[in-house]
Structure 1
Amino acid sequence: MASGKGISKFDWPTMLLYAALVGIGWMNIYSASLSDTASGFFDLSQIYTRQLFFIGLSILLIIFILAIEAKFYERFSSVIYIVALLSLVGLFVFGKNINGATSWYAFGNYGLQPSEFAKAATALALAKYVSDIQTNVKEFKHQLRTFILIALPAILIIPQPDPGSALIYIAFIFPLYREGLHFVYLLFGLFAAALFVGTLVFGVIWVAMGVVLIAGILFFRNRKKRPNLFKYLLIATACIGFAFSVNYIFENVFEQRHRDRFNIVLGKEVDSKGIGYNTNQSEIAIGSGGWTGKGWTQGTQTKGNFVPEQHTDYIFSTVGEEWGFLGSLLVVILFVALLVRILHLAERQKNQFSRVYGYSVASILFLHFFVNVGMVTGLFPTVGIPLPFFSYGGSGLWGFTILLFIFVRLDASNYINA
């Protein structure tokens, strides 16, 4: 168990930032779900009361996580990871279908979403593997094993279907990059995304011509170094082949709702009353907030329920309408401060396990924050990614709490042993 000395060494700036984000998040959930039908403040039929209950359980979770010896998380990381995988597999047999996705275990009127906890489990397993090999991940066999470790939970999540939760596993590329993964993997990922979007917008022929042109320019620019023509041809062929596969993936792997959302964001369709209704109303709500907002619980778009499910994935639109640009900026600053603090703590860790885990925490939180805000403001298609500590839900809040406070515990242990 953690000693009294250990308790005094927990990173209070991180915990205060967590408390601020959870508190502000609850205030916005309260506003977004406030109704005239409530029998009282502690009416459990109300969303804001249930979220307050989830927050209370989160405090108990924090106490439990911080009370356990830090070595437990490293020693049992593989077991935790296997349990997480089994919980995802179990959904195919025991899962409950909610809103078209079999992502939940039902317990009476409540549900538990295992994908929210699998992120912390994967972060622990990745940190354990990288620290065990006692080297960086430049060797291909280590790269392959880490990619499999990361891909397994994502592969189990995609068929639920829950592509948003599966997308988050891209975040693990950043801690691997910190540990020696070649920068070419980041470039490859960005280039693949650009090819995918470019093919949807301009078509296969124009993208293929662009690839050939770029390859030709790069080859002739490096001709004095006698570049390998075969390598350039191979890369160009692979890129063109990927471009030709985009339409098949888009039409046969994506569901219709995902295709519609991509088309709206890319400007190929205008559907402000159908599939694009949520995003359109969210943009209106945020834009109407101006500089200082309409005031807490005073948002007309929010009160009129113009943004469906505003207390979940679209909670940031409540911030924009009622708190305005300045309030939204405050929320962004708090998130950035938390991310910077986590990265600072990760760099001061005395062992590789804690450092890799810390970078994983920061990367997961960043991707959630970045994609959710982009989704709510219409920059990205709606993919069902919640805003950490803000969006309504016990599984999400507990998953992020576990993810963060395991790192707080690891950091306290390193601080004591320094």
Structure 2
Amino acid sequence: MKKILLPLSLSFGIIALSSAFYNKPSIDAPKADNITPDADNGGIQLAKGFGAVVVAEETGKARHIKVLPNGTIYIKNSNAKNDKGITVLKDTNGDGKADVVEAFGAYGGTGIDIHNGYLYASSNSEVFRYKLDANGDVIDKTKPETVITGLPDLRQHEAKPFTFDESGHIYVTIGAPSNVCQEKDRQKGSPGMTPCPLLEKNGGIWQFNADKLNQKQEDGVRFATGIRNAVALDYDPASKNLYALQHGRDMLYQHYPEIYSAEKGAELPAEEFFQIKKNDDFGWPYSYYDPEKKQKLLCPEYGGDGKKLYTKAKKPIMAFPGHWAPNDLLFYHGNQFPAKYKNGAFICFHGSWNRAPLNQAGYFVAFVPFKNGLPSGPYEVFAEGFAGGPEIKSPGDAKARPMGLAEGPDGSLYITDSVKGKVWRVIYNK
């Protein structure tokens, strides 16, 4: 099988730098047809017809990922030790594996993306950007421009993932530093605060100008509220909607065993999939979603009894079992995969830590088909086996935890791991 080289210029400046959205095939990148999957798919199991090649084995504690039209990969790492907050991978011989690995950035964080010729990356309190040259390389790695600064970093749900729309906006998650806005966080018997003061600056999605420098939180707009923490966040240019998945609250059984069994506490509340419009309120901390009842229920800290409805919040478009930890969301617009995947959503479930007495769960990538901006069928398990075993007692037992998703220029799907930073490239075996 003939391999093609990976030039680092040509049409990148024309195609990639003009827009935040350029998930189109590019003649510059190595095509899946020229890549042979690893014999064991890098240790994971995939949907029928797919294979995977390991692009890199260890890139640090990888979070979100972006792939440029020329194939260059940028990964945000949560651990910035030795100026390795951002990892750059290049495949210069077209075999699908990175043979050039570079790193820069003296800050940890989660978010990374490209917009109007800049690489954007977030710490837990700021969003920075770096000017790119025509080859997609950062011009000055030591002096990023500050786009947003001073965001709350309160050591609980502190990650600042972000996404762009096509109208010049950047949307940033500001998670709530709390389980359910109690007077004493996570303390049994402590009542919930009404109104919850955290919602003024936390617990929602904020909208900013994507191209303006040195913005503070007050320069942005609280686009949506009542979202405890949404690490999985994506704008879909096909339907022109913003979407996110929430990490649901904890401790229903531990604090209210008279209402919830241990098994119910493991499954509740649902991890909610939101379609987000301006000024939406999704009900945290006052409510949670029960997938069996298909209703928002009042949290017991606010007088709920497992039956009382909460009608002031917008419902999710889909719900998943509790504590799976959705950590990235990607709407697929490529042409490599079969037609059923077009415009559908891939979701990385990072894996649970608190589903006892049930086994821990999650640790896989799901696919949800979409039509007209809404799910058109049940979710499917697309990629699994990351953790390395069928039963995980704790997150520390997992060999890998799926974290970030990106679409390559040829329609390949890239997946990162947060344990050691393994990176998979999933291709369709036609």
Task: With the length of structure 2 as denominator, give the TM-score of the two structures.
Answer: 0.28
- Write 1 or 2 for the structure with the bigger share of helix: 1
Structure with higher Rg: it is 1
Q: Which has the higher contact order (CA 8 A, sep 6+)?
A: 1
